[in-house]
Amino acid sequence: MPTSAPPVRLAVLVSGSGTNLAALLEAIDRDPAFGAEVVVVGADREDAGGLRRAEDRGIPTLARPLASGDDRGAWEARLRRDIEAHDVGVVVLAGFMRILTATFLDAWPQRVVNTHPSLLPAFRGAHAVEEALAHGVKVTGCTVHLVDEEVDHGPIIAQEPVRVADDDSAASLHERIKDVEHRLLPASVAALCQGLLEVDGRHVRWRTPAPPSRQEHA
């Protein structure tokens, strides 16, 4: 009698409160066929709330701060070794605010996933929500993508729009974008872990229907 494949071992990297981590863990709990488990959570800040979320669930954690003047290459190499020690198959950047280079990425080619609060390639970088508001766009959104060495640049797995209201602040708009992220990121990670994504250059094709897009979020 054939046995099912073991779950893919995930590392999740965070910098803040870890709401995307929480959404991912909840999605794994809900779906026995998700095909993955979180085996370590890392952060670049010792006070990152995401670490507390992981500890509350008994998930191993690691904090690797990067101070001004530190050797970035050495920091990245250490982070890679720390994660490799957990036999990780996929790395999820869930609000992780550090740029990663080949020093790290080469260990998981096309297996590092990021979520970004804009419709890439628009508004790359750390201030995407504020820049969307300043530019006066009527629609922004969320993008889940594979990570390469350029900032917010890798092949796009999934996107969903969020409408910008006339009275939006950066905080109110970001909250609506997070609502989409909390659904789109787990769906994309599940598809990757289940082998349902085909990457062809910059194109990512779903071998099963992509997660259904909902109406633009007002």
Active-site residue set: 116
**Residues 148, 153: Cα–Cα separation, whole Å:** 7
- The sign of the torsion formed by the CA atoms of 98, 18, 136, 140 equals positive
- The sign of the torsion formed by the CA atoms of 15, 19, 22, 26 equals negative
Question: Which residues, in sequence order, are CB contacts of 58 under 8 Å at separation 6+?
Answer: none
What is the distance of C-alpha 62 from the center of its chain?
A: 17
Amino acid at 18: G
- The count of residues in the chain is 218
Per-residue burial over 114-152, b if 16 or more Cβ lie within 10 Å, else e, is: bbbbbbbebbbeeebbebbbeeebeebbbbbbbbbeeeb
